[in-house]
Structure 1
Amino acid sequence: MEFAEDVVFFRLTEETIIKPFLSKDKDLNEFLFQEAKHYQKKLLATTHIIENRSKTLAYISVFNDTRFADESKFVSKNQARKFVLSQLPSQKRHIKSFPAIKIGRLAVCQEEKGFGKLLIGWIMDYAIHCNDTSACKFITVDAYKVSLGFYEKMNFVYLSDKDINQDTRQMYLDLTPYLNTFKKIV
């Protein structure tokens, strides 16, 4: 990613001194300052930060995931079956799980805009290039209701309607349509 001269993007380390950060979500703020390093140390999630000289502008915390075509996550068996059929060639219809990278947290400083899109672009590029050594078909997220519109604009789709009345919705982005686009950019 390219930024203005004083903006940097890096992976959080044990030695990182996290600069001030305030998003509109208290839980996302607390995660960055109180839990991100611990999650990283325990190999549960890796956090990447965008900051300038004075503050943290945005961050994303990611980990490996599996998108299961588990019938309990869908409204009906038929909806689960349609999901599997849409993702696989006919001779491999017995597969019930798909490799993914999950966005555990994504937050942008409340005074800033545009960094969320940059982070989604970065994780898409990263996930597609991971396919050189280990498969990754989806980017997944359990999106807060206030963020659903953002993820929809980024072409994420809902896994099912079963969680429509929940605080978070399971969403995914199929990387297949982007495979050639990102390979050409790099």
Structure 2
Amino acid sequence: MVQTRVDREHLSFIRLKPSYSVENFSCGDDDLDDFILHRASTFQKHLLSVSYAYVDGDSGKVLAYCSLANDKVAITDFKDKAEFNRFRKKRGFPNEKRLKSYPAVKLCRLGVDESVKGQQIGTIIIDYIKWMYMNNNRAGCRFLTVDAYLDAVPFYEKNGFRFMNAEDNDPHTRLMYYDLMDIVA
């Protein structure tokens, strides 16, 4: 695939409407491609997730996309209650707010078209999501979570995500989180 140099002056990040149709997108992962090409609008119509696209304003081409849904960070995400309590203490939760779970948004999918890989577009999208939940948040949201494909773990670590549970042994993904309070601190 031929790489295209992105002129960021003409790019915009848009919320996709259920009627929006993506005609051509390939990030090299069949599942991620299939989602944006065929299933994102159905998920949105049924209020299961919301998809956003990073679009070239001149051509209308979707260069990258992400899909978000509500989530939580809960006791069950950790090996045991003691590990969850250490997590709460380390993250600075006040004792009077000892909840069994905390509000989060899940980054369900993130794909960057092969034609623009290596141009930091994935990081731009992660930064935009952080900004959205720190500046336009309409409900409490403390964490971003992601079930990161194993080969994407270094990308998420580079963008400030941490492992939720050191003993997560899923053969395909690792549960990771980003604490939005890291932006404030």
- Please give the TM-score of this superposition, normalised by the length of structure 1: 0.85
Question: Paired residue for 2:175, among 141, 160, 170?
Answer: 170
- 1:119 maps to 125
- 1:46 maps to 50
- 1:3 maps to 8
Count the aligned residue pairs.
Answer: 174
Whether contact under 8 Å (2:13, 2:54) holds in the other structure is yes
Corresponding letter in the other structure for 2:48 = L
Distance in 2 (alpha carbons) for counterparts of 1:125 and 1:54: 24
- 2:66 maps to 60
**Identity over the aligned pairs, expressed in percent?**
32
Is 74-83 or 15-24 further displaced after alignment? 74-83
Question: Paired residue for 1:129, among 126, 132, 135?
Answer: 135
Corresponding letter in the other structure for 1:39 = F
Runs of 4+ aligned residues of structure 1 deviating over 2 Å after TM superposition are 2-5, 73-78, 84-87
Question: Paired residue for 1:30, among 34, 39, 42?
Answer: 34
Deviations 1:153-185 (A, max 9, x none): 0010000122145311110000112137xxxxx
SS in 2 for 1:117: helix
Uncovered stretches (5+) of structure 2, i.e. residues with no partner = 1-6
Distance in 1 (alpha carbons) for counterparts of 2:171 and 2:86: 23
Task: Please report the RMSD computed on the Cα atoms of aligned residues, expressed in angstroms.
Answer: 1.9
Offset of residue 100 of structure 1? 0.8
